[in-house]
Amino acid sequence: MKFKIMHETKHRMRIHVVQKKMTYAQADTLLYFLHNEKQILSVKVYERTGDAVVEYMGERNTLLQLLKNFRYENVEVPAGLIENSGRELNAGYREKLIQKVVFRYAAKWLLPYSVRAGLITLKSIQYFKHGIASLRKRKIEVPVLDATAIGVSILRNDINTASSIMFLLGIGELLEEWTHKKSVDDLARSMSLNVGKVWALRGGQEILTPAADILAGDHVVVHMGNVIPFDGSVAEGDAMVNQASLTGESVPVHRTQGSSVYAGTIVEEGEITIQVREVGGSSRFEKIVTMIEESEKLKSNLEGKAEHLADRLVPYTLAGTVLTYLVTGNVTKALSVLMVDFSCALKLAMPISVLSAIREANLYDLTVKGGKYMEAVADADTIVFDKTGTLTKAKPTVAAIIPFNGENPDEMLRIAACLEEHFPHSMAKAVVNAAKKKKLLHEEMHSKVEYLVAHGISSAIDEKRAVIGSCHFVFEDEKCRIPEGEEDKFESLPQEYSHLYLAIDGQLSAVICIEDPLREEAAAVVNSLRRAGLTKLVMMTGDSERTAAAIAKKVGVDEYYSEVLPEDKAGFVEREKKQGRKVIMIGDGINDSPALSAADAGIAISDGAEIAREIADITVGADDLYQIVTLKVLSDSLMRRIRKNYRMIVGVNAVLILLGIGGMIQPATSALLHNSSTLLIGLKSMQNLLD
């Protein structure tokens, strides 16, 4: 690529790409390429000017060589990224905004008054239509107020005031539409699938295959708890599928042979093989956008109350206008009141505040599915943590493999990895990673794998039943035995580790010791959340009492519960809610899903089970638990902004009404000041909360 260095400081460079014109696709391709280079700290690409601003670390010459070697055609961009990047959307709205401003002032300066008056009168017809439509529904809402203000101004031959009202209303609508659309698209992109590998059916065997290699017509196996990666139909199997992420249905639907299934939905129970119908990434994105736009999840309670209040204020504004005229007999003063509309500002500022906050949350790797969940986090007084993969590190490791019954440790690890890789969880990943480090290949050698939530996995190897999971599952549910003469070995298992028990043909074959160290920041995060206003911090885990007590003491939670099942977690959340408490639940596994669903705000760790991420209301990155503190601060700041906006809107407009009644400002000035303050509040609501 040919480029010029336009400006440069230490570790920051602005370049201009030498080409006729940079397309949106090219800008996104360059941005994607640079974002994925380790030495690049941040990058912005401006397609209009063909410039890119790059902040980097390391050697300057390395960056220059990287840019020189760049070719658009050599970059493999993920499906759907360019189509849904939002770059063209933003450019389109910028053009609309510029055109609107240019057209207004060009008409004002170049067209004769009579022509301009005719155009403004024609333009006002759409506002009259909206006002009449509202009255037909027997509702006196904002369109009635807008139509009345514009109509009275035209009847008084005050064309400039009518023009100003329509211009500012148009700008407000455009800004609101732009912010809403951009926020929804940002949210949809963050919710879109990021499936790396899938289980493809090849010659009767399940083969772990890159999703990019799957073609329409291929067969893909989806196990319980996993996301369905493509649109298709069920070729084999039977499952209950959670479609809440697309349809909003709270109850899983039954899917069997011949039924259609959709990308992004979750297999809650059972297992299915799907025949892939569509592999493109854009269809999933479009479905999510539709779901978000139609969903009431975007509205917080406070936002809904503000909008409801906005409509209720309209009749009072009209009544105030009539009353002012009856008392003063002055049309100008009455019009000054009419030009002030509380509802306009309320309806603009509140949704913009919420959607901007959701967009800002994405900057911190926080995916929030609706404004009401940020409000729930702000109001929460109780938080429940799952232990494994949440308070402890997301990547536990295998510390030891203790064989029984004369088995080989490496062979036992190979079998365990073969079973565990089907049901991703932090403990399962530890086993699979340990096998990879030892270069133990584990081709499929078992029959159908069954997963029992919070218990373990069962299958058959060489026609012998193989199970792996908790002590309760292996010894109580499955009635497996400790090999004769090895009881002392079993009793002396190291207690500082979590244990996975592997049994074959009814006898214990190995115990896998999992080291699951506490996150370094866990105690500080718990303390920060307490200072942020949460009064009850609870830890729940399926681990033993001894392990749970040790972790709880280190972290500093108020209460802890050990050896709990999924229904126990959900039951606890429901009991807390019945006592009037607002509850946040944080987890990462399939077994956390019922509690995540029951909580006022369910938060999933991003590299946990897919069903947890889909059911959760909020997803946070797993690298740093401080993101939960950031979420709390963001949510509190959003609620403060909404309340501040409310006070400011009421205050400013009340002053304008008093000035109008006192004859201190004219109707045109009243309209200008009202609409200007509305836009300023709306623009301020678009600013980041944590800057």
Indicate which CATH number applies to the domain containing 557.
Answer: 3.40.50.1000
Could you tell me if 193 and 245 are in contact, meaning their C-beta atoms sit under 8 angstroms apart?
A: no
Shared domain for 547 and 474, answered yes or no, is no
Q: Which CATH number do you get for residue 217?
A: 2.70.150.10
> What contacts 671, CB < 8 A, 6 or more positions away?
149, 161, 164, 165, 168, 339
Dist. CA 631–CA 634, nearest whole Å: 5
Shared domain for 250 and 380, answered yes or no, is no
Could you tell me if 501 and 470 are in contact, meaning their C-beta atoms sit under 8 angstroms apart?
A: yes
- The answer to whether residue 412 is domain-embedded is yes
**Backbone phi, then psi, for 18, in 5-degree steps?**
-85, 95
Element (DSSP H or E) covering residue 657? helix 626-661
Residue 531 CB coordination number (10 Å): 9
Shared domain for 404 and 506, answered yes or no, is yes
Could you tell me if 672 and 686 are in contact, meaning their C-beta atoms sit under 8 angstroms apart?
A: no
Shared domain for 32 and 104, answered yes or no, is no
**Backbone phi, then psi, for 222, in 5-degree steps?**
-120, 115
pLDDT at position 167:
84
Shared domain for 385 and 529, answered yes or no, is yes
- The answer to whether residue 86 is domain-embedded is no
Domain that holds residue 168: 92-188+297-354+637-685
Q: Which of residues 280, 306, 333 is at a domain's end?
A: 280
Dist. CA 62–CA 54, nearest whole Å: 13
Shared domain for 613 and 652, answered yes or no, is no
Kindly state the tokens that stand for 516.
């699951």
Give the chain's domain count.
5
Q: State the number of CA atoms in the 13 A half-sphere of 473 facing the CB.
A: 22
- Which one-letter amino acid corresponds to residue 22? M
Q: Which of residues 26, 49, 77 is at a domain's end?
A: 77
- The answer to whether residue 290 is domain-embedded is no
- The answer to whether residue 288 is domain-embedded is no
pLDDT at position 379:
93
- The answer to whether residue 408 is domain-embedded is yes
Kindly state the tokens that stand for 380.
């929460």
Residues paired with 400 in a beta bridge? 513
Could you tell me if 412 and 402 are in contact, meaning their C-beta atoms sit under 8 angstroms apart?
A: no
Shared domain for 498 and 523, answered yes or no, is no
**Backbone phi, then psi, for 448, in 5-degree steps?**
-55, 135
Instruction: Give the residue from 173, 93, 94, 183 showing the smallest Cα distance to 638.
Output: 183
Dist. CA 29–CA 23, nearest whole Å: 10
**Backbone phi, then psi, for 326, in 5-degree steps?**
-65, -35
- The answer to whether residue 409 is domain-embedded is yes
What are the Cα distances from residue 530, in Å, to 350, 395, 536, 584? 29, 26, 8, 13
pLDDT at position 295:
47
What are the Cα distances from residue 483, in Å, to 407, 480, 507? 11, 9, 6
pLDDT at position 194:
54
Dist. CA 458–CA 550, nearest whole Å: 31
Instruction: Give the residue from 620, 625, 110, 634 showing the smallest Cα distance to 378.
Output: 634
Could you tell me if 64 and 52 are in contact, meaning their C-beta atoms sit under 8 angstroms apart?
A: no
Could you tell me if 138 and 180 are in contact, meaning their C-beta atoms sit under 8 angstroms apart?
A: no
Shared domain for 594 and 615, answered yes or no, is yes
Could you tell me if 502 and 511 are in contact, meaning their C-beta atoms sit under 8 angstroms apart?
A: yes
- The answer to whether residue 286 is domain-embedded is no
Dist. CA 30–CA 53, nearest whole Å: 11
Kindly state the tokens that stand for 12.
């920051």
Which segments of the chain have a pLDDT < 50? 248, 282, 295-296
Could you tell me if 335 and 152 are in contact, meaning their C-beta atoms sit under 8 angstroms apart?
A: yes
Kindly state the tokens that stand for 136.
């037909």
Shared domain for 302 and 184, answered yes or no, is yes
Using a 10 angstrom Cβ sphere, with 0-12 exposed, 13-18 middle and 19 or more buried, the burial of residue 294 is: exposed
Q: Which of residues 515, 530, 555 is at a domain's end?
A: 515
What are the Cα distances from residue 627, in Å, to 190, 521, 522, 620? 16, 11, 11, 7
- Which one-letter amino acid corresponds to residue 2? K
Match 């017509």 to its residue by tokens: 217
pLDDT at position 296:
44
Helix axes of 301-328 and 331-338: crossing angle, nearest 10 degrees: 180
Q: What is the DSSP string of 61-109?
A: HHHHHHHHH--GGG--PPTTTTTTSSHHHHHHHHHHHHHHHHHHHHHHH
Dist. CA 188–CA 84, nearest whole Å: 9
Dist. CA 315–CA 528, nearest whole Å: 46
Kindly state the tokens that stand for 435.
């096998």
Residue 19 CB coordination number (10 Å): 13
- The answer to whether residue 401 is domain-embedded is yes
Shared domain for 650 and 601, answered yes or no, is no
Instruction: Give the residue from 158, 145, 300 showing the smallest Cα distance to 653.
Output: 145
pLDDT at position 663:
79
Shared domain for 404 and 507, answered yes or no, is yes
Match 């005719």 to its residue by tokens: 118
> What contacts 680, CB < 8 A, 6 or more positions away?
none
Instruction: Give the residue from 62, 17, 16 showing the smallest Cα distance to 38.
Output: 62
Q: What pTM did the predictor assign?
A: 0.65
pLDDT at position 400:
93
pLDDT at position 303:
62
Residue 563 CB coordination number (10 Å): 16
pLDDT at position 566:
77
Shared domain for 181 and 306, answered yes or no, is yes
pLDDT at position 681:
81
Q: What is the DSSP string of 146-209?
A: HHHHHHHHHHTT-HHHHHHHHHHHHHHHHHHHHHHHHHHHHHHHHHS----EEEEEETTEEEEE
Residues paired with 197 in a beta bridge? 210
